Structure 1
Amino acid sequence: MSTESPDDASSAATNTRGFAGLRTVTLLTLVSRILGLVRDMAMAALFGNGAILDAFTVALRVPNLARRLFGEGALTAAFLPVFVRELERAGRESAWKLASAVLNLLAVTLCVLIVIGELLLWGIGRLLPSGGDGQLLIGLTAVMLPYLLLICLAAQISAVLHSLRHFTAPALSPVLLNLVWIVAVVAIAPRFTTANEQIYVVAACVVVGGLLQVTALTPTLFRHGFEYTAGWTRAHAQLREIIQAMLPVIVGLSITQINTLSDSLIAWSFSLPETAASADANGIQFLESGTASALFFGQRMYQFPLGMIGVALGTVLFPLLARHAERGRLDLLRDDLQRGLRFMISIGLPASAGLVLLSEPITSLLFQRGAFDSQDVEQTAAMISAYSSGVWAYCGLLIVHRGYYAAGDRMTPLRIGLWTMLLNLALNFALLWPLGGAGLAVATALSAMIQVAAATWLIQQRIGRFEWRGIAGVIARAAVATTAMSIVCWWTIGRFPDGDGLLPRVLQVAVPLLASILVYFFMAWLLGLKECWMLFRSSAGRPDDSDTQADSV
């Protein structure tokens, strides 16, 4: 038996536990994303693309952005390294006090913000004319504002479980929300008469889903030995460190979310009013009505592979990178970060190409029913294509940023993020009218590509130079395999004529998709692209000597 310590194990070892939770998170994320697609299909069938769904999607951005900033985003990025340090140096009792303090402070802060937000919304609502689109947006935002407390608490509990290398319960949590949402759209909302009543019912059920997420995660946390402590004064120093770390992380980690939020707000602001007769009403050139909804569906589709690749890998990788940094092993941090990037490239490139090529058949299959017509299909497919071109970049950002935060560098992602946010805003207005609503999505994708390139290059100043020859080899092999896959996908799509029935639409997606997967993995095997097989191994990383057994599937 080897006497080699975990930290001295070779980074080339691939049959150990370092990435053991990747398959767990990926598979459960797949289930959640499939349910999310079912949910979006039901929403599209009930409401179509229009002012009502536009208002709902914009209102939902507020709690979703808060979740990504204070929940699974900035707070998690700032909290997890400090929590791992407490586990490593002071033991579980001290770590539980820190976790309790963060949960307490988060709950109090968000409750105050919700009360202030509700009062502001009430005041704004009184100034707006009743029955207008603005009144609907304010009302839906007010209903869903409490959801941000629930989803942020759920995300913070998940961060504690991730630190303990437990991934199953957090990955199952979004499934509950999607199930409640589907029931609301399919079984509850149709019982109401008007579309306004129906959308308010869905908004209320979103809050119920958030409550179920917190309720489901809490027992799992206590089963891991969690000991709750009231207040937060006992962890004052660590809290101050986390709060100070959050300020730059909020911007650095959430640029893509801020960019997509600005996309939605700009689209909603410049969309054609329902009462206008043409896109040039009153001398103003408007976007098509439903642009914000089309952007929402486009974002949902690119988030499907983003969740399975970027979020899943970032979730599993971050605790591992934080432990390497805490033990002073930046060489191991660099090696595991490189392996994560190579895996992302091998899966992200074909995912981007596949979504671009299949955007229209997928949109037709998933959404073209009820109030969602062929014009909505064309509009939404354009958004999916534009956003999906940057899937590999969005995934790469999630991974590289966690490398920065594990190594204690929060300012570099902040500086890069600020520049790319300004770039995205400029590109939004430069591309808005030449490309229509799709220009907003193109701007976000281009900004993400530039951001991930800069972040990947500059992180070497902190952790050492990457082995670029190996990375270039993965890019080249993945590009060749993706090109072959794309040719087969394009050719296969052309073999199936357009049809209005369910079977033709299923075939237009399923056959090209299956052919593309088979061709890509065959080419990957032929070219020796071993990184894309990581999910099929029983484990895929270095052994980890954490005191909590990692999940496995």
Structure 2
Amino acid sequence: MSLFSKFATVGGATLVSRIFGFAREMLMASALGVGPVADAFNLAFRFPNLFRRLFAEGAFNAAFIPLFARSLEDEGEVGARRFASEIFSTLFTVLVVLTILALIFMPFLVKTIIAPGLSVCVDDPSTGGKVISCAARYDITIAFSRIMFPYLACMSMMAMVCGILNAFRRFFAAAAAPTLLNFILIGVIGYALHIHADKQTIGFLMSWGVLIAGFAQLSMVVVAMRIAGFGVALKRPRWTKGLKRLLVLAGPAALIGGITQINLFVGQAIASFKPGAVSILQYADRPYQLPLGMVGVAIGVVLLPELSRALKAGHLREAQHTQNRSLEFALFLTIPAAVALFIIPEPIIRVIYERGQFHPAATIAVGSVLGLYALGLPAFVMIKVFSPGFFAREDTKTPMVATLISAGANIVLSLGLFWLLAERGIALATTIAGWLNAGLLFAGLYRRGLWEVDHALLKRAGFVCLSAAVMGGALLYALHGLSPWLASGAGLERQLPALGGMVLGAMAIYFVLAFATGAADRTMFLTVVRRRRRAEAAKTVASEDTTS
């Protein structure tokens, strides 16, 4: 299977998850809108979800896969099974203790880390008691957090199982498992709307849905691991050489791989000082996460094992080629996505969310945040491309320094810009920090001779930017001409065809230009198509032989 095919497999599964994530957010926006219950749920979910993104989307694997692969090659499956059991037993014990402590001290965590703004919230007497009070927001945030926190344990254990699957080149189950969360929450919200539940009840039902989804996702990947013929045993935790090495690598790797989510978490904590700002950031994050998840996660999952194998075999030229083609793939998809999200964020948000409790004023606020997030999209995907260059060499110190610098810049900028631009300041700070991090990572690779930018990458990147710029001009023209169809009062029956036509037209313009100019590697694309046709033909012949 080619590198492009592997990206497509993982990216396709992630795309399905993100699409259903859209459906989930649309239902949630309709049911809760931008308000205190939505804020409370998003704040409570962000904490365990932060760890899900830190571990499940590549960071834990960045430390685990090279060590597991080394055990598998040097000691065989018996040694790899012993190493995996050591890690799993320790991880399970730590997570149980951590979960118990978190449930006990959750009020302290909410007050100091998750939502410090709730502790200084002052009720507005002009509302006349028509909205949930600050004290009630604080209480339901604690309640939601306690219900959902065990999800963190499920996702952390799932991350290790996914690492094993990825080491065996079984990518699909790990990429598809997050879809279960969306399926379950869509069902929960649908049921709550059917019984006409109030907003607070919907929030509680969704919190329990998250917990159930955690156990379902863990079960799915464990079954996939068993089908792959591998298993781990729960033993008494012991301090071993393998565990020590994993901890040395995993801490920095989690910090580095989860910089996007750390920035968002910091932003939401600061946004808790303004009612509604947390929900605005969350709703803007969903469209932004679609291309980031589809491309960034696919690259993060596939690239590290490929680089590790090439470097271990001494194939340095192959490693360089893999890195350059991965960056090509990232730029080819993220540059046009960033341009589109920056130019037409408001129509996108209007079509996705504006109904029920989600009002036109919220559309404007969320759209302005999405436009600023879009500017950082290529940077955050490039971080996923650059980081494996260090991880595959078991170097986590250099990218950790880059991550700490960018995270510090994000905090300082968020604090300063929030008081000037509210939630838009947080989005702008996140974008600036992302570009700073990507720049530092690339500089570290280039300066040490670990990345040689080839001519093909430079040429195709230039044509990608040119094609995306032309596409952006076409979008601006269409936005002006279709503005009556895209307005708030136009109705979904006019908004959806107008937006759909704009998006399809923009995609057609971009892809035609990309293939005409050579921005896309036509040879690689045609090779993948031919391979798929041959595979389908072989399946057809085999089926006919079996039938006869």
TM-score range, shorter chain: 0.7 to 0.9
Distance 1:125 1:433, change over 3 A: closer
Tell me which residue corresponds to 2:534: none
Of the candidates 129, 138, 143, which is equivalent to residue 142 of structure 2? 138
Query: Structure 2 length as normaliser, TM-score?
Result: 0.88
Relative contact order, higher structure (CA 8 A, sep 6+)? 1
Q: Identity of counterpart residues, as a percentage? A: 28
Structure-1 separation of matches of 2:521 and 2:298: 16
Q: Is the 8 A contact 1:17 1:540 kept in 2?
A: no
CA distance in 2 between counterparts of 1:538 and 1:110 reads 42
Q: Which residue of 2 aligns with 1:48?
A: 33
1:322 maps to 308
The C-alpha deviation readout for 1:428-477, integer Å capped at 9, x for no partner, is 13322332211110111111112112211211344534125433322211
**Matching of residues 96-111 of structure 1 within 5 Å:** 96-111=81-96
Aligned to 1:510: 500
Partner of 1:265: 269
What letter is aligned with 2:19?
A: I
* Aligned residue among 190, 195, 217 for 1:191: 195
Alpha-carbon spacing, 1:227–1:151, altered in 2? closer, same or farther (3 Å):
closer
Q: Against the structure 1 CA distance between its residues 211 and 535, is the aligned structure 2 distance closer, same or farther, given a 3 Å change threshold? A: farther
Equivalents in 2 of 1:257, 1:122: separation in Å? 22
Stretch moving more, 527-536 or 457-466: 527-536
Contact 1:253 1:413 in 2 (8 A): no
For the pair 1:161 / 2:165, whether they are aligned, the reply is: yes
Change (3 A) 1:442 1:122: closer
Q: 1:225 to 1:121 in 2, by over 3 A?
A: same
Instruction: Classify the secondary structure of the residue corresponding to 2:356.
Output: coil
Pairwise mapping of residues 338-417 of structure 1 onto structure 2 (< 5 A)? 338-417=324-403
> Is residue 78–residue 405 contact of structure 1 (8 Å, CA) maintained in 2?
yes
Deviations 1:503-550 (A, max 9, x none): 212123201100110000111112111248867752899xxxxxxxxx
Q: Does 1:292 align with 2:296?
A: no
Q: TM-score, normalised by structure 1?
A: 0.87
The match for 1:78 is 63
Partner of 1:39: 24
User: What does residue range 109-124 of structure 1 map to in structure 2 within 5 Å?
Assistant: 109-121=94-106
Cα distance in 2 for residues equivalent to 1:487 and 1:375 = 27
The whole-number CA distance in structure 2 between the counterparts of 1:97 and 1:171 is 25
Distance 1:193 1:503, change over 3 A: closer
In structure 2, relative to structure 1, the CA distance for the partners of 1:533 and 1:33 (3 Å cut) is: farther
The secondary structure found in structure 2 opposite 1:369 is: coil
| Residues 124 and 303 (structure 1), Cα distance of their counterparts in 2 relative to 1, 3 Å cut | closer
Contact 1:343 1:531 in 2 (8 A): no
- Contact conserved, 1:333 with 1:463, CA < 8 A, in 2? no
Alignment equivalent of 1:245, drawn from 245, 249, 253: 249
- Which AA in structure 2 matches 1:44? A
Q: How far apart are the structure 1 equivalents of 2:199 and 2:156?
A: 29
Paired residue type of 1:490: L
Question: Residues 196 and 233 of structure 1: is their aligned pair in 2 closer, same or farther, counting only changes over 3 Å?
Answer: closer
Unaligned runs of 5+ in 1: 1-15, 272-288, 542-553
Render the CA deviation track for 1:323-355: whole Å, top value 9, x for unaligned.
122223333222211110111112111110111
Alignment-derived partner of residue 240 in structure 2: 236
CA distance in 1, matches of 2:362, 2:134: 28
| Aligned twin of 2:542 | none
Q: Per-residue CA shift, 1:289-309, capped at 9, x if unaligned?
A: 311101011112211000111
Residue among 531, 538, 549 paired with 2:528: 538
Secondary structure of the residue that 1:529 maps to in structure 2?
coil
Query: What residue number does 1:302 align with?
Result: 288
Please give the per-residue CA displacement for 1:211-254, whole angstroms capped at 9, x wherever unaligned. Answer: 11111221210111113333266892211110111222232222
Structure 1: distance between partners of 2:333 and 2:174: 23
Q: Distance in 2 between matches of 1:407 and 1:519?
A: 40
Q: Given residue 502 of structure 2, which amino acid in structure 1 is its aligned partner?
A: P
Stretch moving more, 448-457 or 95-104: 95-104
Higher percent of residues as helix? 2
Q: Return the alpha-carbon distance in structure 2 between the equivalents of residues 171 and 260 of structure 1.
A: 22
Letter in 1 for 2:369: M
Q: Contact 1:524 / 1:532 at 8 angstroms: preserved in 2? A: no
Taking the aligned partners of 1:202 and 1:532, their CA distance within structure 2 comes to 45
- Aligned-residue offset at 1:119: 0.6
Q: Mark the CA change 1:102 to 1:72 in structure 2 (over 3 Å): closer, same or farther.
A: farther
Asked if the contact 1:72–1:159 (Cα under 8 Å) also holds between the matched residues in 2, the reply is no
Q: Is the 8 A contact 2:40 2:144 kept in 1?
A: yes
Q: Is 2:49 the partner of 1:64? A: yes
In the alignment, what sits opposite 1:88? Answer: 73
Looking at structure 2, the residues matched to 217 and 249 of structure 1 have their Cα atoms a distance apart, in angstroms, of 22
Which of 422, 427, 431 aligns to 1:436? It is 422
**2:297 matched to which residue of 1?**
311
2: distance between equivalents of 1:201 and 1:264? 22
- Residues 109 and 462 of structure 1: CA distance in aligned 2, closer, same or farther (over 3 Å): farther
1:533, 1:297 → 2: CA distance?
39
The separation in 2 between residues aligned to 1:345 and 1:123, in whole angstroms, is 42
CA contact (8 A) 2:342 2:374 kept: yes
* Change over 3 Å in CA distance of 1:81–1:185 after alignment to 2: same
Q: Which amino acid aligns with 2:390?
A: Y
Contact 2:57 2:301 in 1 (8 A): no
The verdict on how the C-alpha distance between 1:327 and 1:138 changes in structure 2, with shifts beyond 3 A counting, is: same
